[in-house]
Structure 1
Amino acid sequence: MGGTGVALPPAASQAELWSGYFAAHYPGRVAPIAEKIFSNAGVRTRQAAVSPLDEDVSGWSTERRMRRYQEEAMPLGKEAVERALVASGLAATDVGLFAVCSCTGYATPGLDILLARDLGMSPRTQRLFIGHMGCYAALPGLGAISDFVTSRGRPALLLCAELTSLHIQPPAARLETQQVVSHALFGDAAVAVVVRPEQRGGYAVREIAALTDPTTADHMSWEVTDLGFRMGLSARVPQVLARHVRPMVDELLAAHDLTVADVDGWAVHPGGPRILETVERRLDLPETALATSRAVLDAHGNCSSATVLLILDALRRSPAPPRRVLALAFGPGLTLYAVLLELV
């Protein structure tokens, strides 16, 4: 990973979002429980391209939400990509593969085509769109562009652009805990990263591993409805994660004659405080190991696929960047992805 570019829409505090919108969204007996979920989400501020403080999208059709996605994602994505190219010292015409991840909006022609056009990429630039994989999508995306760079010897660029603010669901008369948790956690972001041959001053991808437990496919979902995309999130997700994360991490590291103790940087997708606590406990990590993951959750919320890239960017910009980083992300399937990176 070379240059990184981050683009964020305007921010609002969690307290402001609650008092200015969600308190009225969850009336009656639901309100105290919902407020407690908001206060315990580990989120202090979040960014929203379409803020509920300004516009109530909860009754919008999916068509209307998708049109707005294209309007908002284009400038955010362009800003992130331009910053990543500048940080890498590359021109848009240098990009051999342009990959885009998103699970919050779709259109054809999509962001990959329109941004390649607007940024002046070559007509021969290869493109890849990775859709609806959810929060872990950045890691297979990173694997795809890294493989391209290795095999073709040309730079590649990955953009993760997520606008979760477009998928606020209508108010419900009864408590729907999964929806409250979703509304309390998610934020918007666009992050782009460049991988180039003979990378210097960034992180090289050393290994990628995936594990899917199909017996728990109903534990996490992202369903397309007439009123946007609806999150399904079982309270049993941390239990499944606890069962799989340690064996998976140990196996990946052992392939490089490493152990957990050899990793000095952790980029763990903060699906919520319980997810981070589960990983920390199962891997026997010190209290400070996931400080950056918690800081990103605190400042940005869960930005779906863009989140792990925000954490990696923060680790890289730290005064003493860790030499060896393990990135972990989780999503529908139930799927776990892990990437081992090393500073070069």
Structure 2
Amino acid sequence: MTAVLTGAGSAVPTTIDQDDVWDGFFADHYAGVRAARRVFASSGVRRRHAVANPMDEDLSGWGTGARMQRYVQEALPLGKQAVAGALDAAGLAPGDVGLFAVATCTGYATPGLDIRLASDLGMPPGLQRLLVGHMGCYAAIPGMAAAADYVTARTRPAVLLCCELTSLHVQPAVRDLDQVVAHALFSDAAAAVVLQPGAGRGRRLAGVVARTDPSTADHMTWDVTDLGFRMGLSPRVPDVLSRHVGAVVDELLTGAGLAPADVAGWAVHPGGPRILDVVRDELGLTEAQLAASRRVLAEHGNCSSATVLLVLEELADVDGPVVAMAFGPGLTLYAALLVPARGW
């Protein structure tokens, strides 16, 4: 019995224009940082989404407790919409779900989103739940892998929800360029997928490969502070990625008896323009093969763990194997191979 991805859904809050949010807030916020305007202009982001629009409310002085309360308030309707959409696409009712997994690195509460949403959606009282917390941008792939293991072992459907509200973590004005980069890229979204046992339609999860380089653990961090969560982001991240991405993809495809030429779609997490450039160059891809990732970056920004699921939605009509890749703290790379449920 194999786990097949049969449905997907997503939800985003209010759209904000990148130029408008620079002019309306960040230009003053980073008035003393000469490179800040260039960073925003070269981010590859045209529009993104925010539950807390900094042009309307400045959260940079809020304490972490207040931000977490806001997270629950905002995440519940977005998560519900994404999960309901995924279940509807899969042709399932909430009562059919055996496992509900939630991935997030931007908010915490107990009872968490998993309990609150399961009750609100009408999932069964015997539901099994899993929280994938604080893994960062790559969390969707280990989350899918864990859900797939459950589906395979228990022959019950599973749902994975990635819900990230990065706008709740705008930081006080500092001269650190990594904060400018983070505020130029990150965005809010919820995305969900359904996995079912042995389904005849959809995409089967055929393999997952992970690689962590602990020698570069300080290159990407996400620290809990008294003023929300603070991103640490080294400009050396693309260089580290370039050392590992080829071997990870080779291991993933070789294990399935495939070559890069057999891949019909590439769902690469758009951590930023340089990340996509490195993946393109190291794997010998064309710009057309990265179009879905570039499009998601332009229209949604970097929505942390939800982003790769948004790219997979863009590739819903692709016929053939799809490779999904995401990168995050650790420094960690995750890659997954999804193949058509029939014929592979």
* TM-score class, shorter: over 0.9
Please state if 1:11 is matched with 2:20. Answer: no
Corresponding residue SS for 2:163: strand
Please state if 1:336 is matched with 2:333. Answer: yes
For residue 198 of structure 1, report the CA deviation from its aligned partner: 2.1
Please state if 1:138 is matched with 2:135. Answer: no
Tell me, in whole angstroms, the C-alpha distance in 1 between the residues paired with 2:256 and 2:215. 30
Please state if 1:59 is matched with 2:61. Answer: yes
Residue matched to 1:327: 324
Corresponding residue SS for 1:308: helix
Tell me, in whole angstroms, the C-alpha distance in 2 between the residues paired with 1:189 and 1:308. 11
User: 1:39-95, CA deviations, whole angstroms, 9 ceiling, x for partnerless residues?
Assistant: 000000000011111110000000000000000001110111111111111111100
For residue 287 of structure 1, report the CA deviation from its aligned partner: 2.0
Residue matched to 2:172: 170
Task: Answer yes or no: is the 8 Å Cα contact 1:8–1:190 preserved in 2.
Answer: yes
Tell me, in whole angstroms, the C-alpha distance in 2 between the residues paired with 1:73 and 1:341. 28
TM-score (norm 2): 0.97
Which amino acid in structure 2 is aligned with residue 328 of structure 1?
Answer: M
User: 1:155-213, CA deviations, whole angstroms, 9 ceiling, x for partnerless residues?
Assistant: 000000000000000012xx211000000000000011100112233111000010101
Residue matched to 1:68: 70
- Map residues 73-222 of structure 1 onto 2, 5 A cutoff: 73-172=75-174, 175-222=175-222
Which amino acid in structure 2 is aligned with residue 80 of structure 1?
Answer: A
Tell me, in whole angstroms, the C-alpha distance in 2 between the residues paired with 1:241 and 1:259. 20
Residue matched to 1:36: 38
Corresponding residue SS for 2:183: helix
Corresponding residue SS for 2:100: strand
Which amino acid in structure 2 is aligned with residue 107 of structure 1?
Answer: A
Which amino acid in structure 2 is aligned with residue 226 of structure 1?
Answer: D
Moved more, 270-279 or 249-258: 249-258
Which amino acid in structure 1 is aligned with residue 220 of structure 2?
Answer: M
User: 1:226-275, CA deviations, whole angstroms, 9 ceiling, x for partnerless residues?
Assistant: 00000001111111100011011111211112111111100000110000
Task: Answer yes or no: is the 8 Å Cα contact 1:143–1:208 preserved in 2.
Answer: yes
Task: Answer yes or no: is the 8 Å Cα contact 1:2–1:200 preserved in 2.
Answer: no
Task: Answer yes or no: is the 8 Å Cα contact 2:209–2:251 preserved in 1.
Answer: no
Corresponding residue SS for 2:337: strand
Residue matched to 2:288: 288
Structure 1 consecutive aligned stretches of length 4 or more whose deviation exceeds 6 Å:
none
Tell me, in whole angstroms, the C-alpha distance in 2 between the residues paired with 1:88 and 1:252. 27
Residue matched to 2:51: 49
Task: Answer yes or no: is the 8 Å Cα contact 2:102–2:113 preserved in 1.
Answer: yes
> Which of 18, 24, 30 is equivalent to 1:26?
30
Aligned length: 337
Tell me, in whole angstroms, the C-alpha distance in 1 between the residues paired with 2:75 and 2:236. 33
User: Is there any run of 5+ residues in structure 1 with no aligned partner, and where?
Assistant: none
User: Is there any run of 5+ residues in structure 2 with no aligned partner, and where?
Assistant: none
Residue identity (%): 61
User: 1:311-339, CA deviations, whole angstroms, 9 ceiling, x for partnerless residues?
Assistant: 001100x4xx1311000100011000000
Which amino acid in structure 2 is aligned with residue 27 of structure 1?
Answer: A
Tell me, in whole angstroms, the C-alpha distance in 1 between the residues paired with 2:115 and 2:171. 30
Corresponding residue SS for 1:199: coil
For residue 5 of structure 1, report the CA deviation from its aligned partner: 1.0
Tell me, in whole angstroms, the C-alpha distance in 2 between the residues paired with 1:170 and 1:200. 51
Residue matched to 1:247: 247
Task: Answer yes or no: is the 8 Å Cα contact 2:188–2:303 preserved in 1.
Answer: yes
Tell me, in whole angstroms, the C-alpha distance in 2 between the residues paired with 1:200 and 1:79. 26
Alpha carbon RMSD of aligned pairs, Å?
A: 0.8
TM-score (norm 1): 0.97
Which amino acid in structure 1 is aligned with residue 339 of structure 2?
Answer: E
For residue 153 of structure 1, report the CA deviation from its aligned partner: 0.7
